[in-house]
Amino acid sequence: MNNIKEKYTVIILGGKFSSRISYKILQDYNYTKFIVYDEKLKKKFYDEKYSFINTKTVLLNSIKKTKNKVFFVFATSSMIAKKNWIKDFDIKNKNIINVISKDYVINNAKKIGKGNLIWSKVTLDYDCQIGNFNFINNSSLLLHNVVMGNHNFIGPNTTILGNVKIGNNCYIGSNVVIDSDITIENNCIIGANSFINRSVLKEQKVFGTPGKVIGNKF
């Protein structure tokens, strides 16, 4: 295997399904040493060759002892968990990496931030801008000039047309289509299989074809 990254340790925070996919993707980039941390699990969720830790003090000691450069992956869609881990382990931006499947497509995306999970067959088109800690699921399509903030979840097979702006902390379900020139403000929920043809205001819950407001998130 070429360019094996033996001097790096990747700590995957969160131990379930997203962790497993992150582990598999990062192996494709030749990372070989992994620690998976999840304080809610008593044992490994999946059977692979990695160290499993479920106690904060043990992980802190492991970080202190290692001579390797340490990188962190946030394998969760929970904004609260991410903020807690950053504080608990004093994580700096330079140590946070993206997990990007090798079969995704970038057509001159303008910016991709830190801590993003970008799964298989995702397309980011021209001049897209992606912030930090977003989770973009399989086969989603973001067309030209989409601008996305931080801590958003995009479900599988979702299509976001050109010039759409998405704020922070939004949940967009699977098989959603968002028409061009739409703004999705902060803290919104868009239900699966919806078609969104008008902008969504802060904290609204929207569902249907076309999408209709069905309540407020909070």
Domain 5-95 has CATH 3.40.50: yes
Residue ranges, comma separated, of all CATH 3.40.50 domains in the chain are 5-95
This model's pTM is above 0.85: yes
pLDDT, one tens digit per residue, over 85-134 is 999 999 999 999 999 999 988 778 899 999 999 999 999 999 999 999 99
Domain 100-207 has CATH 1.10.10.10: no
Residue 97, pLDDT score: 97
Residue ranges, comma separated, of all CATH 2.160.10.10 domains in the chain are 100-207
| Strands 5-13 and 31-37, bridge-based pairing | parallel
Distance separating alpha carbons of residues 107 and 110, to the nearest angstrom: 9
What size, in residues, is the chain? 218
